[in-house]
Amino acid sequence: MNRSLYSIALYLISPLLLVYLAMRAFKSKDYRGRWSERFGLIPLKQTDLLVHSVSMGETLAAIPLIKQIQLQHPELSITITTTSPTGSAEVVRAFGSSVQHCYLPFDLAWCAQRFVKQVSPKCCIIMETELWPNFIHYLKQASTQVLLVNARLSQKSADSYRKHHKLTAPMLKLLDGIAAQSQQAAERFVALGVATERVTVCGSLKFDINIDKQRIDIAKTLRLQWLAMDKPVWVAGSVHPGEFDALIAAHKQLLAKYPNALMVMVPRHPEQFDAAALAIKSAGLTIVRRSKGEPVQLETQVVLGDTMGELLTFYGAADQAFVGGSLIVHGGHNPLEPAAMGLPVMMGPHYRDFNEITELLASAGGLKVVDSGEALAKNLIQLFEDKRAYNQASVAAKGVVEQNRGSLTKQLAVVESFING
């Protein structure tokens, strides 16, 4: 399928996009507005630099890079787009009115063309692998320099690109530069037809996570408020339906050994908060919902983290962490945030989106791959019992983050070469 057939196919299924938005809106109030942005129907100002960062994870990685660009180029006007409410919230929190912000429209040809015509950026930075054929086509028609930054490409994604090469190969060849997270990703892009000189291995921006003292102080205070200084505390972060039952079962096993243990469960998406609460209550566990401001009592067994932007603080208030989206076939989420806090980390076997990072942490001894709630409970108990093993895992996790810092400087250098050029 080439781009013309792709565009026709999108037009044919476009009514389903409205159905999709309606279904998301039914599940989450965060999807009940701003539909016009999804179709490029809002007035926008012309911008010098356009940054697209998809969802919360990509946005958090992009924030330090964008702040450095703002510092070095205060004269540049910047527009940041996302596709999810969680990513949007992070943009607003980090930049306020200092940037223009909206959702990236669907890749329908007329939506992409109208959007690009309005913002008409001199340079566009796309985070990770959020590549849309019409979007990139119209950017290049507008003579925009297009960079793929913090780029990752799993073997599965590379195989998919190869399968649809008539659509993807021309798109990849339009990219002016790629700052790849790893040598493996760089080699996969080159194998798909990207010129070698356009690809630079820079490491992952996610290693350059910056945890300020204020965040750590807030986390310590939170643990005090939870009456949890002398009890085992673990976080199940960025978890999805399909994982809830295994996590609850693991916590019940932990409670059998440590009756005062506390689990902090943080679903990935807001529309999953109520389902998580119901699963916890149905299992007979005592729950406090963070959003309601209820105090954590000595008998509280689970804190449901049903707020936005607090996951890193929760990690700082805990002893161990499980990172979700990995017990189900989803691709996993970022294990570096708890690792940077010095927490031993666990993930399920489905971590393809963070393959290199997960294996690096695992080989150093800072991360354990578990395939069930029972295996998760066993590892939690082992590390709570064995302080020496716990400390080794903690030091290893934090060490991997520290040893791999520096990607921000490298990726910024790639971006600067295009901004200044």
Catalytically active residues are: 58
Q: Which stretches of 142-268 are DSSP H helices?
A: 155-163, 165-173, 183-191, 213-225, 244-257
Among 305, 312, 315, 304, which Cα is nearest to 280's?
304
Task: State the Cα–Cα distance between residues 199 and 99, nearest whole angstrom.
Answer: 28
For residue 73, give the 3-state DSSP assignment.
coil
Phi, psi dihedral angles at 218 (to 5 degrees): -65, -40
Which residues have C-beta within 8 Å of that of residue 375, sequence separation ≥ 6? Answer: none
Per the structure block, which two tokens stand in for 357? 């990072």
Half-sphere CA count of 339, side-chain side, radius 13 A:
31
C-alpha closest to that of 174 among 193, 155, 158 = 193
Cα gap 300→264, rounded to integer Å = 11
Instruction: Give the CA diameter of the chain.
Output: 63
C-alpha 419 chain-centroid distance: 26
The residue behind tokens 């809002």 is: 42
Residue with tokens 């996590």: 247
* Closest among 99, 145, 98, 107 to 126, alpha carbons compared: 145
Q: Tokens 């993807």, residue?
A: 168
